[in-house]
Amino acid sequence: MTETHNGVSINNNNSSKFTNNGNIIGVQNNNNPVQSNSLAETAAEIQEILKQLEESNPTNTIAGQTEVAKKAIEIVNSKPTLKERVVGLLKSVGTQALKEALNHPVANILVEAFKGWTKP
């Protein structure tokens, strides 16, 4: 399906054509690799890491939460692709969206640590 508004045609495959009197004067492809499904997938992968860590480190105490967060940060840091996705998400959707997607007692600690990776 294609919609046209004021010389701009937008279609379902995330590209736009800019026209002037019927002539194409530009095309913009919107290929954002960080989409909502990427947020869900990345959060699910981190949640799985947290779930595994909770088996030996209960999160019902601050000490347990700190230990789980510390180990989770180390694991994510050791996986370059996952770390890259986390950094991309923080830049595109922000910290609050990632915290909400993680939905875990240590989410605040993790995201604050991950924020440090976004700075050069």
* Residue spans per domain, the chain: 1-31, 36-118
Coil vs helix vs strand at 61: coil
| 40-49: burial string, b at 16+ Cβ within 10 Å, e else | eebbebbbeb
For 66-120, the pLDDT digits (tens) are: 999 999 999 999 999 999 999 999 999 999 999 999 999 999 999 999 999 998 7
Q: How many CA atoms within 13 Å lie on the side-chain side of 72?
A: 34
pTM for this model (two decimals):
0.69
